[in-house]
Structure 1
Amino acid sequence: MRLPEEFSFNCPLKINCGSHAVAHLPAALSAANAHAPLILANRDQVGKKGLNTVVDAFKTSGLTLGIYDRLPDLPEPDLMPVLARMYRDGGCDSVIAVGNGSVVDTAKCLNLMVSAGDHGASADCGNCMDKPSVLRPLMVVATAGGNGDEVTGYANDGVHRLRSSRLVPAAVFIDPAMLGDQDDHQVVDGALIALTHAVETFIDASTGPMCRAYAHTAIGLIVKFLPLVLRKTDRKKNLCAVVNGQVAAGCAFSASPPGICHVLATQFKESTDLSLGFLMSILLPHLVAEAGLVQPEQVGELLYPMVGPDIFSVTAADLKTSRTTVLIWEFFDAINTELVQKIPTSLMGAGLTDEQINRIQSRVGRGATNGHVARIIDSARQDPDMTAGW
């Protein structure tokens, strides 16, 4: 195990997982000295049954609830002052986000606004970032289709991408009852984003052992259970495992800088309708292959969470890196077998032109990583040799 000379890791998140996990919400709030939560949700995302499951957890608690279940699909800055007034007029002292994506982003931004003392006069949550204060308790009830960003210190207020360790929720609740029928494409996209974040964190030489432990857990859970989810085998149980993997990936991602795949895919997303997770997946095998040339021992360690200790221990050291790359191709192949909309095998297969690819490369590939970025992009530009992988 390698140990960087300097690293930092902080994970204040509490994870509650299992059947009837949401039933522990009242106790968790009471432990945080909170007694009047505002529940935020998107009714189309979570469904009436899911929202009722959360509300029913409070039937005998004696706590006062506020509920707003009409959040839009994307964060809307103009909505923040309205929610802030609702929060204060209702005497609320905490926030519960039921769902993923923009629901949790909105909850984080609202919590930042009301905790910082902004009385709803400004919808720009970015103005609150520099005001030191302790945020109110924020709980997240996870649903299928997230990507791990929900438990990070990142949030999108509709205008800015905010980052602060104070934005990390106090707790996340992963309950099979909340993991209803989600679109396979959305589930896969979120899982692929989380997997890419975990892999990039795992091979980052600057991350510490605790951060890599979370990434290790995330990789193992997603690689093992995502194909089972798509095969509809004990779906809710396997979805629960995938969501746990996404949460673990989010914890790791919070403590590490965004990697090359994340940065490139975010840039490529501006030029294609392909989802972010699918773009990351196009790049990921090529990133692993490139990293294997520079740090073969670290990349070889990726094999462990993918195959387990028995196979890892009997695999020759000089074969671990190449085997890891092949397994990533095979994992994506297994996913594609179950999907209607396949993960493209190249950037050009994703509809990107040479001009678009070159423009992004010139924008991102600067400094010490320029050579690595160029080789990853060139390798991912066109379909790979089918005899060597996918």
Structure 2
Amino acid sequence: MTLPTTTAAWTIPADASSIHNLTKQTLPLPALGPHQVLIRLRAACLNYRDILVATRSPNYPGNHKPNLTLGSDGSGIIHATGPSSKWAGREGVKVVLHPNSWLTGDVRNMRLDRVYGAFDQDGTLAEWKVADDERVVEFGGHLSAGESSALLTAGVTAWSAIREGMDGRLDGNLGQYEGSFSEKRLEGKTVLTMGTGGVSCFGIQIASALGAIVIATSSSDSKLEIAKSLGATHTINYANTPDWDEEVIRLTKGKGVDQVLEVGGAQTLIKSINSTRAGGLVSLIGILSESGTLPKEVIPAVLFGGKIVKGCVAFSRDITAEFVQFTGEHGIKPVIAKEYGFDEVVQAMETLQKGEAVGKVVVNIGEE
């Protein structure tokens, strides 16, 4: 079999300061190593991180190489394998790519400079990609290529955060999943989600599937209807109810929620803490609001409430594989806001940058 030696890819120039600087070009493919596979990519899913990297924003660390290929999330099929690859003989299998080099164990094994689409790690907005065996996860399930690519950063982040709420330990280790995926492990618990972005949409579906009462917030009544369709029990329009933390307390009969999936960042953190029960968990996932001086109430609210505020920074390959299995068990589908063709990456990034999309923005790279 003659293998391709180049790939079309969307790259970030050295002097990029805008998403409109993204450039489609042809790049050489690295040689296929003994424990690697060549993936024909079918779809890539965009994340807010991609905007930060594409604009070389100081809000995301790293000296990203010139002409870096953007994108952390991708799905495709195995086209060829290295001579010693564990995937040998599995050509044609549908897969998703685990975005980082953290394979197993706890967060100490996470390296930010080994995540696709940043630093010197070329990403998934390309037609072809050579990947290490261990970063490939089989997915032959119920989703399209675009939908399966959307499982990764948003879906597995939400899954990892909820898993930490169920099985996490204070030393950073995550225990084995207890029971079967069909069990209602969150029955009697309450989870608060914020907005209708990718992480929050997945969070609603996951928590609901596990039996939790879900309270969802948004500034739009139409988006809250979508949240209800995904499994939210209660909804709060924070544009109409600016003191939404007080409404959360009312809905929980004065107790507060067991866990918050906090994606807003500095400007919403205190309200998330206020919404949490004594001893509860705030999973800090996003930085969508501008950083600033934290309100003076934060420390006493955490201290005297015995509450936990925990950063959620990526996830392991084991957790990715676990979530793929969980979605199949429950028939979970990502909410796709809009899909674009491979020549429309800039338009896709514009949609993402506006921040108005419900769910994920996907770029289709090839035919199913």
TM-score (norm 1): 0.27
TM-score w.r.t. length of structure 2: 0.28
Larger relative helix fraction: 1
Report which of the two has the higher share of strand.
2
Higher relative contact order (CA 8 A, sep 6+): 2
